[in-house]
Structure 1
Amino acid sequence: MDFTELRHLAEQIETECGKAIIGKGEQIRLVLTSLFAGGHVLIDDIPGVGKTTLVKALSAVLGCGMVRVQFTPDLLPSDIVGMNIYSQKTGEMVFTPGPIMTNILLADEINRAIPRTQSALLEAMEERQVSVDGVTYPLAPPFMVLATQNPVETETTFALPAAQLDRFLFKLSMGYPTPREEAAMLRTVGDGAAFADLRPLLSPEEVNRFTREIRQVRLSDPVVAYIVELVQATREQPELACGASPRVSRDLFRASKAYAALSGRDYVTPDDVKYLARYVLPHRVLLSHQAALSGLEAAGVVETVLAQVPCRETGEVLAHGQNA
């Protein structure tokens, strides 16, 4: 299948978003990968580096509905998923949808909400539905949670539990801009990003179409084996108390397909898997107590795994091997 159209579209999206946020092409490409892979993204970085700007710009260019929810300690699950309210007109309880009934949910400063409220996202993120008083309401595709959190502030925050972190396909950081990028930012959007001027290049229906087509991207048997061996290796590292779950294998499989398609290819290479593993794995493994005390970081252990696990075969067999 020819994914040239999608590659050109991804380049156009990055260029259009560049009118509002400068120098974040990699982060934009990774969020697009997550969207087409059916995943969610946690953006973990200090205030002021453009986390919210990135989400707002992408939402405008993708032509998808976006709702921003400011997560605070007093936020309740019903404030997100909705609730049943008594209607005096009909004499019955009527479901009032919450902000989660959108295409892109910006969960701003997600770690400020209490664990009970954080857990309200679990069903929606995994099963694309919410349940209220025993009734299930499906979420219309596409649906993606883009959450932000500040890693340096711990006061009045609640660390995301492992079950919540495991629902996020990628964990990204924005990073500081280079001096040239910062100067360009001041010249271009110093007076404020004009989101209304961004041109929508997609629609929800087109996102869904590309998502279906991406399923046809091929993975050869050696590449599938490489994904499995990487995930298995995390379960054997002495520095990790808990390795990656089978959900991680599935997510890396899906993300690799989306990333390859956005690169204009109908097949996945080991380099695709290796590149994405750095964003998929670290937040979904748990350091042992001793490793944490010694100052090790999960990202460092993942790099060790990537160095230890080779892909058995390369070349033509990877491009034209058996479909998966």
Structure 2
Amino acid sequence: MDSELHSLVLQLTNNMSQVVLGKPDVVRSCAIALLAGEHILLEDVPGVGKTLVAKSLAKSVDGDFCRLQFTPDLLPSDIVGSSVFNSQTNEFVYTQGPIFSNIVLADEINRAPPRTQSALLEAMSDNQVSVDGKTYPLPKPFMVIATQNPFEFEGTYPLPESQLDRFLLRISMGYPERAQEREVLLSHRKGEPVDELHSVLTGEQVLQLQAAVRDVNVEVSVSDYLLDIVHATRECDELHVGVSTRGALALYRASQAAALVDGRDFVTPDDVKNLAAGALSHRVISKGYLHGGQREASQAVIVRLLEELPVPE
């Protein structure tokens, strides 16, 4: 493993940890998603630091950052842009929307209607947007960090499976420990610490790390273990829908990124096991649960399957 690459990863996680206190797992998950070239969904009640996490990651990477506040009246053109008629040239000129940024915060994504949510689908899967029959590439690196409150239903639109499938990981923030919460109170006395953060990675360095993730070795036995998990979800009586091939690829790529974050050039079975719940729970549908209870039920099923499946030596 190239020590220089691992040093870059440490700079990123250490920089974020200066303001995201007591949440090393959340910081690590964000680093994994960024290095894998994918997107992440942060869930929990308001006020636990979801937006702070997104801002700290954006501040740590030297690039364009955009915050999109999703509301019921937000239109797809407010995200991807639109063609405007130029009276001087008698032509329609395309004006880029805020999606043309390196890191995009989709705040409270479930407050926008499905038509607006779908504006992100092509961007998140193909790193491009299509407007009026023309395709425009997005900048690299490109990452969407979305937030939502899974416990509030009034005025919200549950994310469809096709949208959830675009996120590499879906994780819950959780409340901080008492000691870390005391540090939060002290650090915020004079303002927002995230405003003082400086970038520690350039866009080129992020692309270099993303390329290195593809070179991380995955032994056949580890790949087979990953497929055992995927196929177990498809055969499970408690699930209506199991993990798709795209979901298997997502867990594969997340495991490679996790190995790089830990300074290794090979994936271990524990990498796969530790990431399975966060990478797969939003790609399955449990029987008898809707919306709020779906996430917990799906995670519980996957955790049980992981306990039953043998882990390779």
Shorter-chain TM-score bucket reads over 0.9
> Could you say what secondary structure the match of 1:15 adopts?
helix
CA distance in 2: counterparts of 1:118 and 1:26, whole angstroms: 27
**Which residue is equivalent to 1:194?**
193
Q: CA deviation at 1:124?
A: 0.7
CA distance in 2: counterparts of 1:185 and 1:91, whole angstroms: 56
Paired amino acid for 1:180: A
Percent of aligned pairs sharing the same letter: 46
> Could you say what secondary structure the match of 2:263 adopts?
coil
**Which residue is equivalent to 1:318?**
none
CA distance in 1: counterparts of 2:244 and 2:47, whole angstroms: 33
- The 5 Å alignment of 1:231-242 reads 231-242=230-241
1:178 corresponds to 2:177 = yes
Q: CA deviation at 1:290?
A: 7.7
- The 5 Å alignment of 1:1-324 reads 2-289=1-288, 297-311=297-311, 313-314=312-313
Is the deviation greater in 295-304 or in 120-129?
295-304
Show CA shifts across 1:53-90 (max 9, x none): 11101111122321000000000111101100111232
> Could you say what secondary structure the match of 2:215 adopts?
coil
> Could you say what secondary structure the match of 2:58 adopts?
helix
Q: How many residues align?
A: 312
Show CA shifts across 1:170-200 (max 9, x none): 0011111111001111111233323342121
TM-score scaled to structure 2, two decimals? Answer: 0.95
Show CA shifts across 1:116-146 (max 9, x none): 0011111111111100011011112111110
Unaligned residue ranges in structure 1 (runs of 5+): 315-324
**Which residue is equivalent to 1:319?**
none
Paired amino acid for 1:304: R
> Could you say what secondary structure the match of 1:297 adopts?
helix
Unaligned residue ranges in structure 2 (runs of 5+): none
Paired amino acid for 2:226: I
| Distance change in 2, residues 1:89/1:306 (3 Å) | same
Runs of 4+ aligned structure 1 residues displaced above 6 Å come to: none
Paired amino acid for 1:41: I
Native 8 Å contact 1:4 1:265 kept in 2: no
| Distance change in 2, residues 1:125/1:270 (3 Å) | same
> Could you say what secondary structure the match of 2:235 adopts?
coil
Q: CA deviation at 1:217?
A: 0.6
CA distance in 1: counterparts of 2:289 and 2:114, whole angstroms: 26
Native 8 Å contact 2:241 2:285 kept in 1: yes
Native 8 Å contact 2:170 2:282 kept in 1: yes
Native 8 Å contact 2:42 2:146 kept in 1: yes
Paired amino acid for 1:126: S
Native 8 Å contact 2:110 2:148 kept in 1: yes
Q: CA deviation at 1:38?
A: 1.6
Q: CA deviation at 1:305?
A: 1.2
Paired amino acid for 1:300: A
RMSD: 1.9
TM-score scaled to structure 1, two decimals? Answer: 0.92
Is the deviation greater in 268-277 or in 23-32?
23-32
CA distance in 1: counterparts of 2:92 and 2:38, whole angstroms: 33
Native 8 Å contact 2:251 2:279 kept in 1: yes
Q: CA deviation at 1:207?
A: 0.4
Q: CA deviation at 1:283?
A: 1.1
**Which residue is equivalent to 1:321?**
none
> Could you say what secondary structure the match of 1:42 adopts?
strand
> Could you say what secondary structure the match of 2:272 adopts?
helix
